[in-house]
Chains A and B, each alone.
Chain A
Amino acid sequence: MSSPLVRALNVHKRFGRLEVLKGINLDVEAGQVVCLLGPSGGGKSTFLRCLNHLEKIDAGSIWVDGVPVGYRLDGGKFHEIRERDVALQRTHIGMVFQRFNLFANRTAIENVMEGPVYVLRQSASAARETAERLLTQVGMMNWADRYPAQLSGGQQQRVAIARSLAMNPKLILFDEPTSALDPELVGEVLSVMRDLAQGGMTMIVVTHEVGFAREVADKAVFMFDGTLVEEGAPAEVFSNPRHERTQQFLSKVL
C-alpha cells in the first residue's frame, strides 16, 4: 500500500492562548480532491497555511510526499530547517488565496512567469511558453498583458490558479477561492477548478460551495473549533450527516 501524498498527524496550533487546531488528522491520496467545510473561525485557513508552513505548528507533523514540511527528521527528532529550504518545499505546494494576491506590479503573464523564472530558474522563453499555455487553459490568454487592477475578481483568480500551476506542484491548496467574488463570477473559477480535478490534480479546497464539493470532491471534511468532526464521501455526508454539528451547519448552508 502506498502512503498518502499528504498526511497530517495530530496537528496542533495555537495563537497565544487561543488553541486554533486541536489535533488534526487527515490523509489525502494523490489525485484526490478534498473539500474542507465548516463555519468561519473554525481554523480551516490556519490548517491550510500550516500545510505549506506559512504557519508553524506547535505539535504533530505534516508530511507531503513522504517529507516532513518545515522540518528535517534526524535521529528521531524534527530539526527546523532554514527559510530558504522551506521555500524549496513550497515550490511543490501551490496555494490559491481568497483575495487572489496577484503581484500588483506585474501583468497577468508576468505573474505566471515569476515563479518559473526567478524560483525555478527556467529561461524566460520556456517560462513564457508554459505561461501562455496555462493562461489559455484558464481562459485568460486575451488578458495576458493586463495588470491585476484591470481584471475582474474572477479573472484575477483564474490567473492566480495559472500562477500556482506554473510551478508544476504536487498539490494545490485553495482557501475559499470564490468567497471574494461577485456571484456571477463564481462559476468561471469553479469550472477551472473542476477541470483541474478531472486532470488528476491533488487539491485541498476550503469552500462554502456545497454544490461544487458534492460534485467534484472525493472526500468532504468538516471542521469545527479546530477539530475534524466528520469526514466521508460527499454523497454520504451531505445527505446523511451523522454528527449533530454537521447537521446544523449543513441546514444553514444548503
Chain B
Amino acid sequence: MTDVLGPRIPDGEIPIVPMRKWGRWVSAGIILLLVIVFVMSMRHAQIAWGDIPKFFTYHTMIVGMYMTVLLAVVCQALGIVLGVIVAIMRRSSNPVIKWSAWFYIYIFRGLPALLQLYIWYNLALAFKTLGIPHLFSVSTNSVMTAFVVGVLGLGLNESAYYAEIVRAGFNSVDHGQIEAASSIGMKPSQAMRRVILPQAMRVIIPPTGNDFINMLKGTSLASVVGFHELILSSTDIYSANFRIMETLMAAALWYMVLVSLASIGQYFIEKKFATDRSDPSSMSMGKTVRRSLSMRGVFHLSERNPGVAL
C-alpha cells in the first residue's frame, strides 16, 4: 500500500516549517532607509523644531483651532440636516419636488467649494439688501459675516454630497420592508421614520465620519473669505514674526490632533452601528443583541418585558 501512495507517513507529531516571508524584510529595509534619509534632511532643514510647541499654543493659534472646529461642526450639522431633507425629497412622487432636489444636488455638488465661497462672499455686489420687499430688509454685508459665508459655502456643498450618501442608504433597504410597512397601514412618512431611516443608518453612518474628517480640513478654504480658522491664524502669526515654517508645522500638528480625535470618534460610532441585525453571521445571538441595544438606548427590552429572556 505505501508504495502506491508514495512516501511512508512518519509516526508521531510532524513539525511545520513556516514559509520565509522575504518580502516583508525587503520592504522593511527600504522603508527604514527612507525614514533615515528623511530624518537626516529634516535635521539639516532650516526649521527651529524647538519653537514649534510655542507656536502650537499661541493664543491666536488656539482661537483658530476653535474656529476650525466650530465651522466644521456647524457645516457638517447643516450638511446632514439638509442632506437628509434633500434625499427624502428625491424619493417624492411629486416630480417638481423630486427634480428640484436633483437640481439642488447638481448645482451644489457640481461647483467647486472655493467658487461657492467667493460667490457668497461677494453677494452684496449682486444684492445690496436681503429680505422681503416692503416687509423687512437688511444690508447684505451685515449678514454675510465670514462665518456665515463659510457655513453657506461649505455647508451647502456638503449637504449635496450628504444627500447622495443618504440616498444610497435608503436604496440599501430592501423594498419588501417598505411594502410590509405599507401593508400594516403605515403612511409613507411613518415608514420613512420607523422602517427606512433606522435601517439605512448602518450604511449612512460610516461615510459621515469620513465626511467630517474632510470637513475639518476643508474649513481651511474659508480662510480666503477672511474667516480666522487655523490657516488664516497661522498666516497672521507668521506675517508678524516671519517664522513661516515653524508656524505652519504647528498648524499641521493641530490638524493631526483634530483629525486623530475625529478618527477615534468615528471608530466608536461605526462599531456601535455596525451590528447588522439582518446578517446573523455578524453577531452571536442574545448577548450581542442585548449589549448593542443597551448601548444604543433605543429599545429597552428588559424594561418593557422583564419576563422574557433571550
A72: Cβ under 8 A from any B Cβ = no
A119: Cβ under 8 A from any B Cβ = yes
A231: B residues at CB distance < 8 A: none
Find out whether the CB atom of A105 lies under 8 angstroms from the CB atom of B199: yes
B190: Cβ under 8 A from any A Cβ = yes
Find out whether the CB atom of A87 lies under 8 angstroms from the CB atom of B182: yes
A107: Cβ under 8 A from any B Cβ = yes
CB distance from B99 to the nearest CB of A (A): 20
Q: How many residues of A contact B (CB 8 A)?
A: 40
Question: Could you list which residues of chain A lie within 8 angstroms of chain B, going by C-beta atoms?
Answer: 52, 54, 83-84, 87-91, 93-95, 97, 99, 101-105, 107, 109-110, 114-115, 118-120, 124, 128, 144-150, 160, 163-164, 167
User: Which of B47-55, B126-134, B147-155, B275-283 touches A?
Assistant: B275-283
Find out whether the CB atom of A164 lies under 8 angstroms from the CB atom of B308: no
Find out whether the CB atom of A103 lies under 8 angstroms from the CB atom of B279: no
User: Which of B1-9, B135-143, B215-223, B299-307 touches A?
Assistant: B299-307
CB distance from A104 to the nearest CB of B (A): 4
Which of A102, A105, A107, A109 has the most CB atoms of chain B within a 10 A radius of its CB?
Answer: A105
Question: Could you list which residues of chain B lie within 8 angstroms of chain A, going by C-beta atoms?
Answer: 93, 174, 176-177, 179-188, 190, 194-195, 198-199, 277-280, 285, 289, 299, 301, 304-305, 308-310
Find out whether the CB atom of A119 lies under 8 angstroms from the CB atom of B186: yes
Picked from B183, B184, B304, the residue with its CB within 8 Å of the CB of A128 is B304
Find out whether the CB atom of A164 lies under 8 angstroms from the CB atom of B183: yes
Find out whether the CB atom of A110 lies under 8 angstroms from the CB atom of B186: no
Find out whether the CB atom of A150 lies under 8 angstroms from the CB atom of B285: yes
A118: B residues at CB distance < 8 A: 186, 190, 194
Picked from B184, B199, B299, the residue with its CB within 8 Å of the CB of A163 is B184
Find out whether the CB atom of B184 lies under 8 angstroms from the CB atom of A124: no
A-B contacts, 20 of them at CB < 8 A, read A54-B182, A83-B188, A84-B187, A84-B188, A88-B185, A91-B185, A95-B180, A101-B179, A103-B177, A103-B181, A110-B299, A114-B184, A118-B186, A119-B186, A120-B185, A148-B277, A149-B280, A150-B289, A160-B180, A164-B184
Find out whether the CB atom of B185 lies under 8 angstroms from the CB atom of A145: no
Find out whether the CB atom of A87 lies under 8 angstroms from the CB atom of B308: no
